Structure 1
């Protein structure tokens, strides 16, 4: 399957092969685009939001509408098992930079993805994710990406960490530290789309593995006016604190916020508190993302992003469980028709490991031909639609 030349040709035709070209042009090319009011203080020359032809889009630094099609979970440790470490050493010289330049970026372009949604990957089930890319690794990638800021460890899959007190001075000091250690370094990067916060925070729900700590806020208290008011105040403090810390160090990039679990209870008090302080409402959804994102766009009036999702047969007895390319194609097409949806990031991973147990490449770098082909075709269809809409 020679998808690389096909994908690259269509991306160039559609104006979506961005990479290093993002910094080269800054004059808007779509004067009819209605710009959104975002939290950005200085958006010019960076990714922002706009509305055109009745649809919300990301707007590139070059001023072009952009529908983000991303892949999540990209970790070179998958090439460092005893059985495949020779590939890492001999083919890439033990260099993450070389691996990104020679494997990751070319394959993503060949498969029609135009974004890296989030690089961190599962290391051990129910434990922390791997580290994020460094700024030099992002620059080696040379394509649009998003970055997660570790403000809180309230992820629904994580079982070890107590909840932070969002009203405490210690937590506010931590938030400022995170912002100045991450955002100050990335503030001028043109390929950066924006920042995520927590992955599926347990605001009013928990999971069996972290039932010991309970949710951030007891959902029983939402039965009273006093409880609803307290959650509104707590969530407002959280989102205002994170917003203000980022904006002290980065005035340019979009705030993509928490990635809510669409299939768990989401209190409107939390959502309403977030809306003034984020630019996009982001979700994880492994069940019915097209339906749910339609609903949340209607409820909030804000652009929505499917930031993490995949079609996987978790009941399969196979140790490795592939991503479902047919599901991906159907979901991507449905989301593209949602006038409020700005993109879809696949819960990959790039290369499977023995914790997540799925990926577009196996440990020996062989692609999952059937499903990768279906995903490539789906990405190409969206790219061609964008080209016809804006470049014909």
Structure 2
């Protein structure tokens, strides 16, 4: 298996482990011949007469509808900032950034929920800050996605914003343990949510050399491979890479 495939599968594993229906199963309700995927006490899927629909924990079918983006960029732009700081209050801003742990962040989410419902929407947009206090969506009766982000998966963002400016070594047991702890801690906060639609990982998984933002004129390794090879010592990722090479070539000269 090529390393790029292994990396893709490692990432995909996160998606499957934190999928929409963490207790997913298909069953037949013999009383009314309804086929069900998920847990009837939470958001799930039901098929009746060959038609699938989403159904909430109260047995009410619904279609998730929402805006595309919700974020601080425009609401707290220079021409809006002072107005919304005064209107929202609660220490919403901390320096130049929104403090999503503040009481003001909850007030802002209340305003967002009202805006959505005024427009006939029932779901918080997928594109929202991953640190937004979405736990509060249950009180606001607003469907939402839980956004998991353990590390950046876009090369340019990795270089700009990751602590060590590199992709993680996903083959390192220590990293896997850290990931497992993170996912369990995050999902435990949302597992009883009646308005949770599922978990998302990242909407910009751009792994290739063409996403580095520079012209490619000759052969280059995959950005993730380059970062694994750049780490000092005999790392788990390097051992996997050597295994890939050994499976593809009979000698170093080849």
Specify if TM > 0.5.
Answer: yes
Please say if 1:181 is aligned against 2:177.
no
2-structure distance, mates of 1:56, 1:216: 39
Residue of structure 1 equivalent to 2:83: 87
2-structure distance, mates of 1:157, 1:72: 23
What are the superposed Cα offsets for residues 31-66 of structure 1, whole Å, 9 maximum, x if unpaired? Answer: 443113x5xxxx231112232343333221122333
Aligned length in residues: 177
Please say if 1:147 is aligned against 2:146.
yes
2-structure distance, mates of 1:70, 1:206: 32
Pick the structure with greater CA Rg: 2
- Normalised to the residue count of structure 1, the TM-score between the two structures is 0.39
Residue of structure 1 equivalent to 2:198: 194
CA contact (8 A) 1:45 1:61 kept: yes
Residue of structure 1 equivalent to 2:168: 164
CA contact (8 A) 2:44 2:54 kept: yes
1-structure distance, mates of 2:221, 2:58: 46
More deviation in 107-116 or 52-61? 52-61
- Superposed, 1:227-306 pairs within 5 Å as none
Residue of structure 2 equivalent to 1:133: 132
2-structure distance, mates of 1:213, 1:62: 51
Alpha-carbon shift at residue 143 of structure 1 (Å): 0.9
Q: RMSD in angstroms over aligned alpha carbons?
A: 3.5
- Superposed, 1:311-350 pairs within 5 Å as none
1-structure distance, mates of 2:152, 2:52: 31
Aligned pair in 2 of structure 1 residues 118, 78: CA closer, same or farther (>3 Å)? same
1-structure distance, mates of 2:66, 2:142: 11
Structure 1 unaligned runs (5+)? 1-27, 121-129, 219-229, 235-392
1-structure distance, mates of 2:175, 2:137: 28
Alpha-carbon shift at residue 116 of structure 1 (Å): 1.2
Alpha-carbon shift at residue 131 of structure 1 (Å): 4.2
Residue of structure 1 equivalent to 2:36: 35
Secondary structure of the corresponding residue to residue 116 of structure 1: coil
Structure 2 unaligned runs (5+)? 1-28, 93-103, 227-239, 245-254
1:99 maps to which of 104, 108, 118? 108
2-structure distance, mates of 1:156, 1:141: 36
